[in-house]
Amino acid sequence: MEDFTGTTGVTRLRTSRTIIDDESRYLAHNYRPLPVVITEGDGAWVTDVEGRRYLDALCAYSALNFGHRNPSLMQATLEQLGRITLTSRAFHNDQLGPFAEELCALTGYDMMLPMNTGAEAVETALKLARLWGYRVKGVRPNRAEIIVASGNFHGRTISLVSFSDDVQARAGFGPYTPGFVAVPYGDADALEQAITKNTVAVLLEPIQGEAGVLLPPDGYLAQVRRSTERHAVLLIADEVQSGLGRTGATLETERVGVRPDLVTLGKALGGGVVPVSAVVGNRDVMGVVRPGEHGSTFGGNPLACSVGRAVVALLDTGVPQANARWLGAELGKELEALTSSGVVGYRQVGLWAGIDVDPALGSGRDVCEALLRHGVLAKDTHGSTLRLAPPLTLTDDELDYVCAALTAALDELA
């Protein structure tokens, strides 16, 4: 801990309590964090200002797939910081071209378009789909429709919350952007029935993360892909959370054998260092955009591209994906064993799990607070559900630590 002199001129010891109090005073209250103040991180572990260590089993909603301060990512960051960080797309830089080529090779697509945040990547994909609908499919101007799924979470821009059914994320932000049609997630027949002559795309999360790591029925994505091909409609997969190794494959759509027209990537693409996102797709769709129609001051900046290239290099080895598969199988066994000890249901693939706890034990927030007391950080969602998404660099012993802490937290609440 250290002393801090604020605007009042009074010097005081910086503790978790004083830091949280100051934050509450000056920061808009759009989050409700757990009462822990993190000051350092290394691998799967973080340390608070009092020196207590916790295993980070959320890893920033998959943005830290490779752990805190991953050596390869730190090296790429520091080397690029010593050269140049930003040029804007008004000029070329020596990192963007190689990053684009390497990301396309990793994902198997022809082209990419770089942005910063996951929400920007999704917005970009929607704009590309509308352009494609007007310029290639021949939809009349301002008539394009995009089908989405209930329970979705694609970000928090006005357009993205416009087709959300999460009241907390949506209420109070109208009027809403038109042009979206929602159907039940997992119902491929309802989705096909919603397609009209004005439908240009279907936007789906292969696994709905914010909704509680909801897995669709077997064969769902393949059936949707057949429907979109039959009706000349694009399939957009939002893999901002599910992609880049989380489920044991580079892309979740790859794992289930489906090839979308566009894939949005983010979070882990920046390695927890800088915001990096992208849309990848084939030339016949990506090629519809023309200079001046879309852009970003920071999108494709040299620092982001350098970090992104290091992320791609890690994934190109296949090691993070393999570790997610191996430890994911072990995590599934541990969760199954807890179904008689307070877990009433769970959904898990790779190192990603949504765990439903008996409401009699408390809310998901209660479980996360108990986990905090046992040295593990996790996040609740939708009542009594919590999510686990530890780094893909996790070890067997660290997975055991998480599972032991979860068992102890449930026992504490029982």
Catalytic residues: 153, 238, 267
Q: How far is CA 62 from CA 78, 93, 97, 272, 329, in A?
A: 22, 28, 26, 9, 18
CA distance 102 to 316: 9
User: 319-337 and 396-413 helices cross at what angle (nearest 10)?
Assistant: 30
The sign of the torsion formed by the CA atoms of 280, 281, 282, 286 equals: negative
Encoded tokens for 270: 């920046």
Q: What is the DSSP string of 102-168?
A: HHHHHHT-SEEEEESSHHHHHHHHHHHHHHHIIIII-PPTT--EEEEETT----SSHHHHHT---HH
Alpha helix (H) residue ranges in 239-395 = 252-255, 283-286, 302-316, 319-337, 364-373
Q: Provide the pairing of β-strand 385-388 with 353-357.
A: antiparallel
